[in-house]
Amino acid sequence: MQEGAPLVYQGVMFMPNPNDVVQALTADTGELLWEYRRALPEDLADYISASGTNRNLAIYDRLIIDTSNDDYIFSLDAATGKIAWETRILDYKEQPAQQSSGPIIVRGKAISGRGCFPKGGPTACVITAHDARTGKEVWRFYNIQKPGEGEDSWGGVPYEDRWHVGAWMMPSYDPALDLIYMGTSVSAPAPKFLLGGNDQQHLYHNSTLALRSDSGELVWYYQHLIDHWDLDHPFERILLDTAVAPDPEAVAWINPRIKPGERRKVLSGIPGKNGVIYTLDRETGEFLWARPTVRQNVVGNIDGATGKATVNPEVLFTASGQEHLVCPGNCGGKMWLAGSYSPQTNMMYHPLQNTCMNSKVIIDKRDKEALYGEMNRSIITPGTEDLGTLQAISLETGKTLWTHSQRAAMTSVVATAGGLIFGGDATGKFRAFDAETGAVLWETDLGSPVTGYPISFAVNGRQYIAASTGYSITTVCLLRLTPELQPGNEHRLFVFTLPE
């Protein structure tokens, strides 16, 4: 699956490709300088499904650092592409984990998360730190609460039966506070009546975790939603300082202690598939405000004073065979398709989808083979024919200031200092939007879904925009909802610049 973000340094572009292929290219001409192809085990697919994704790379000194599909972390010499070091994190046969995203570098350490499977048990669900120079492990944080670690939040479920709380996207980092912010995914099975009870938190699923970089110590956590439907919350957290004055007409849930207009260090964005924006104080984890962006019926209420989210009882499962219309569906709402932030406008820009799903519980007891234990059928949200939407949202007020809607699903975007938002869609259209108004200023057709993360970079004073296309499970899921749209699925990298 092609979901890669190019990394550019000193005129060289390092491109992560599916199945642990890394390429180094001259960033302005595309000349191939070297290529690394990892030798993966022939039986890997027997243990880790959909293992080909490689979203991002990190760079430290002269090393390119990545996580591999066979559960290693490794580094390449940036000049030659030769292996410098590699360290096994997990045994893919005994503790299978899906390392679809690479690390970030924090104070000389490579910080990475991963998805995990029920067959791997709870100890496969870890966030790790490795010395970026040597690959030596520094610490690992377990995403699933162990018995005896405070009040039990799993309803007495044995530790070995606590499954699948992954952290499969990239973290964010605040160097002033020395805090790493990592989002986590759902547990398995999804309906909590099968997993210790609907009244349990099942920590730390669907949470933001704030960890110390030197030790992995948990400083605070905030749980966004107790999941029953496979609505993960591992997506990007945006860190910024802003005045906080949520507009009650636009924002559903507000902390009553906020002094309107006060400047706060916040963590914001849409962390989960349900499309709800959450804004927290990133120093303490205090809830500030939250609001939906697309139709959702899973969050019934959020207590502004405590930040505790309550599930809508109308879509809560209590027995096998039950079926509910759940919005959004498990392809998003929001997905790994990234939003962006512009300090010029103090707006964030999020690609979203109008989806729902008919979700039915198909098991009556925990089963490692059944994973979520549900059968889900996605549909476009009733009442609209437009699947995709790009929304510009004020970080100060929480208001949506403009919206671009269209039939095709929207994919990742990037904001630039030139007052533009570049982003693609599932049919291969790639556009430049005016950051202030949302007007489409330019577009082209790349022929295949724009599944990679677009970036902006400069070489010798000239500005470029890069975006990649290809196959991804998410865009396939979304394209099924618009069957008249039939793009290709070629894996290609496109680079644009203005004429001389």
pLDDT tens-digit map of 436-464: 999 999 999 999 999 999 999 999 999 99
Which tokens sit at 454? 């677009």
Consecutive 10-residue runs of the chain (500 residues): their mean pLDDT?
96 97 98 97 91 94 97 98 98 96 98 96 97 98 95 96 97 98 98 96 98 98 98 98 98 97 97 98 98 98 98 98 98 97 98 98 93 96 98 98 98 98 98 98 98 97 97 96 96 94
DSSP states along 328-394: S-TT-SS-SS--EEETTTTEEEEEEE-EEEEEEE--SS--TTTTT-EEEEEEEPTT-S--EEEEEEE
Which tokens sit at 319? 């027995």
Q: Please state whether 321 falls in left (phi above 0), alpha (psi between -120 and 50) or beta.
A: left
Query: What is the pTM assigned to this prediction?
Result: 0.97
The domains located in the chain, with CATH, are 1-142 (2.40.128.630)
Structural contact between residues 465 and 454, judged by C-beta atoms closer than 8 angstroms: yes
pLDDT at 1: 84
Question: For residue range 242-273, what is the model confidence (pLDDT) as tens digits?
Answer: 999 999 999 999 999 999 999 999 999 999 99
β pairing state of 207-212 and 179-183? antiparallel
pLDDT at 305: 98
- Helix (H) or strand (E) run with residue 142 in it: strand 137-142
In total, the chain counts a number of residues equal to 500
DSSP 8-class letter at 194: G
Structural contact between residues 89 and 95, judged by C-beta atoms closer than 8 angstroms: no
Question: For residue range 367-426, what is the model confidence (pLDDT) as tens digits?
Answer: 988 999 999 999 999 999 999 999 999 999 999 999 999 999 999 999 999 999 999 999
DSSP 8-class letter at 15: E
CA distance 65 to 16: 11
